[in-house]
């Protein structure tokens, strides 16, 4: 039997922010009944796709005089409820820089970070950039082993040094639920796939030509830096002649002297194209 309640419409612009700075779309609202021991509660709640069975918001807690402490335990409306501690999975957490660090211009390095929760993680994790955060520091994706400190690979592609302050959030970390090792020898087609993939298939033709012409007198390390630079700013290049936009920042003038404007009738199409 389907117990899903009828959902009331909510504002389509409403989003719920989660711990890793992501956003969840709200499907609607409904009134739910639930019990704490023998006490029944009713409350209007938002419905969205989350891992937990449900989360009580601050509006519910404030309305029912919520209190929780090591001495008082859990209380709603002055009534005490039995509580227990459950260690949840590590999930996703922000990673902040452990000490103030200077990242030199046009360089890459590994920073030492710690989770915002202040607790070590016990399983392998994946480190990556924070979503919806734009700055001049590129944060790489990496797998890290358990420990108190989290290595964060970063790259400064600007011509100026970047100062990362102690406690500044620069990355996110998430426990890996499942992973397996990969051996290229297990798949004879793997080498063929790698050899057939080229930057020309990924980059626009003009960008690939620029890279090739600029790499003639460069070392392998410099070519790698150039490719990373172009990849980081790929969005500023037109993918085709039809991709060119316009700007009102620069004005262009054509000096025609004393010549008068010329008006001509449209040229007739050739007879071969008449049909």
The residues near 58 (Cβ < 8 Å, ≥ 6 apart) are none
Using pLDDT thresholds of 50, 70 and 90, give the confidence band for residue 126.
confident
CATH annotation of 92-175: 2.70.40.10
The pLDDT of residue 198 is 40
Using the predicted structure, report yes or no on whether residue 70 has a pLDDT greater than 50: yes
Residue 48 · residue 15 · CB < 8 Å: no
The pLDDT of residue 194 is 42
Paired with 68 in beta bridges are: 74
The pLDDT of residue 248 is 73
13 or 197: which leads in pLDDT = 13
Phi, psi of 178, deg, nearest 5: -150, 140
The pLDDT of residue 15 is 74
Mind listing the pLDDT tens digit for each residue in 143-187?
887 677 888 888 888 888 888 888 888 888 887 766 666 565 555
The pLDDT of residue 166 is 86
Report the C-alpha gap between 165 and 171 in whole angstroms. 13
Q: Share the mean pLDDT of the chain.
A: 76
The pLDDT of residue 3 is 63
Q: Where are the domains of the chain?
A: 15-81, 92-175, 186-236
> H or E element: which one contains 170?
strand 169-175
Q: Across residues 88-99, what is the average pLDDT?
A: 74
The pLDDT of residue 183 is 60
Report the C-alpha gap between 85 and 23 in whole angstroms. 28
Q: 186 — alpha (psi -120 to 50), left (phi > 0) or beta?
A: alpha
Using the predicted structure, report yes or no on whether residue 241 has a pLDDT greater than 70: no
Q: Across residues 234-238, what is the average pLDDT?
A: 80
Residue 223 · residue 216 · CB < 8 Å: no
Nearest to 16 by CA among 61, 44, 48, 43: 48
Torsion of CA 153, 159, 160, 162, to 10 degrees: -10
The residues near 154 (Cβ < 8 Å, ≥ 6 apart) are 103, 108, 109, 110, 111, 137, 138, 139, 140, 164, 170
Using pLDDT thresholds of 50, 70 and 90, give the confidence band for residue 89.
low
Using the predicted structure, report yes or no on whether residue 200 has a pLDDT greater than 60: no
Output the pTM of the full model.
Answer: 0.39
């Amino acid at each position: 039997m389907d117990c899903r309640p009828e959902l009331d419409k909510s504002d389509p612009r409403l989003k719920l922010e989660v711990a890793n700075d992501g956003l969840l779309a709200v499907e609607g609202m409904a009134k739910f009944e639930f019990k704490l021991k023998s006490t029944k509660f009713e409350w209007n709640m938002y419905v969205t796709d989350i891992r937990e069975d449900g989360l009580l918001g601050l509006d519910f807690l404030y309305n029912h005089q919520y209190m929780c402490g090591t001495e008082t335990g859990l209380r709603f409306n002055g009534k005490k409820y039995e509580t227990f501690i459950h260690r949840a999975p590590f999930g996703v957490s922000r990673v902040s820089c452990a000490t103030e660090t200077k990242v030199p211009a046009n360089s890459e390095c590994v920073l030492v970070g710690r989770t915002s929760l202040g607790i070590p993680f016990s399983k392998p994790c994946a480190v990556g950039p924070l979503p919806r955060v734009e700055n001049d520091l590129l944060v790489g994706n990496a797998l890290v082993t358990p420990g108190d400190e989290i290595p964060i690979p970063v790259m400064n592609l600007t011509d100026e040094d970047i100062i990362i302050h102690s406690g500044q959030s620069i990355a996110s970390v998430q426990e890996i639920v499942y992973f397996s090792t990969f051996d290229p020898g297990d798949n004879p087609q793997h080498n063929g796939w790698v050899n057939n993939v080229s930057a020309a298939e990924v980059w626009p033709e003009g960008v690939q030509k620029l890279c090739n012409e600029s790499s003639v007198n460069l070392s392998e390390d410099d070519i790698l830096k150039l490719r990373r630079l172009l990849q980081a700013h790929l969005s500023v290049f037109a993918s085709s002649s039809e991709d060119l936009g316009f700007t009102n920042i620069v004005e262009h003038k054509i000096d025609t002297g004393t010549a008068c404007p010329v008006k001509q009738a449209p040229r007739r199409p050739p007879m071969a194209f008449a049909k």
